[in-house]
Structure 1
Amino acid sequence: MKIFFNASLTGKKLYKSNYLAIIDQLEKLDHTIISAPVKTGDITKVAQASQQQAEKYYEDLMKSIAAADINVFEVSYPSTGIGHEIAVSLHRGKPVIALYVKGKNPYIF
């Protein structure tokens, strides 16, 4: 199965080991991670990106969401960006799994 995985870049400071464990487990189950921006992403670089770079990043993100069979998100750390990606996924009819650390219920308004 082709899987898109993402999580909060800001939350990476607290949850990096969780993010990597999720990716590792999905790969061990013989799924293909077609994109995992949080794995290599850096919040500082994102903040310093030019308008053109930001648009390209977003375009690539949307293509990856569309190409996946299922989209998996780690939502322990609140993120409007991840919320947007979940909404886009659902709008496109993609199955979505939202994972979070036990006791760290995600903010849903």
Structure 2
Amino acid sequence: MKKIKIYFAGSIRGGREDMEIYSNLIDFLGNYGTVLTEHVGHKNVEETVEVDKSDFAIYDQDIAWLRECDLLVAEVSHPSIGVGYEIGVAESLGKKILCLYNEEAPKRLSAMLAGNDKISTCFYNSIEHAKRCIGETLKNL
């Protein structure tokens, strides 16, 4: 399997409750390719990575990475406007998209994702289950 470029999306400003899940998934994805957005898994991303960047610079960088990536993997258990926007941009660019949704999340998955047949969605119940979904997606890439 060739090394691919992966854009990982997870909530930053919308809440960091799932940061450890993001970090675990990003580490796993690193076995398959370059994770362009590995900072999403960093504990203090807003205070470290984003501190010296304007919102405009962050937007420009993220759009460039979305154009560059082969696959968008989005952990969508915690609602985030930014993640939803990234998914929409990736769809408009014709990118392969995998959304991971924890079945134990307190809120239902948005119908805009769950009802979109251009998006693969994995309803997972453990990190290992989510990793199996990622592996299956990568096999079909």
Structure with larger RCO (C-alpha < 8 A, sep 6+): 1
CA–CA separation in structure 2 for the residues paired with 1:100 and 1:106: 7
Aligned partner of 2:56 in structure 1 is: 55
1:19-30 aligned within 5 A: 19-28=22-31, 30=32
For the pair shown, the structure with the greater C-alpha radius of gyration is: 2
Structure 2 gap segments, 5+ residues each: 113-141
> Are the equivalent residues in 1 in contact too, given 2:70–2:95 (CA < 8 A)?
yes
CA–CA separation in structure 1 for the residues paired with 2:95 and 2:38: 16
Give 1 or 2: higher helix fraction.
1
TM-score, normalization by structure 1:
0.81
Select 1:18's aligned residue among 13, 17, 21.
21
TM-superposed deviation, 1:37: 4.3
TM-score, normalization by structure 2:
0.64
1:1-109 aligned within 5 A: 1-9=4-12, 10-12=14-16, 14-28=17-31, 30-40=32-42, 41-42=45-46, 53-104=54-105, 105-109=108-112
TM-superposed deviation, 1:108: 3.0
Structure 1 gap segments, 5+ residues each: none
Alignment RMSD (CA, Å): 2.4
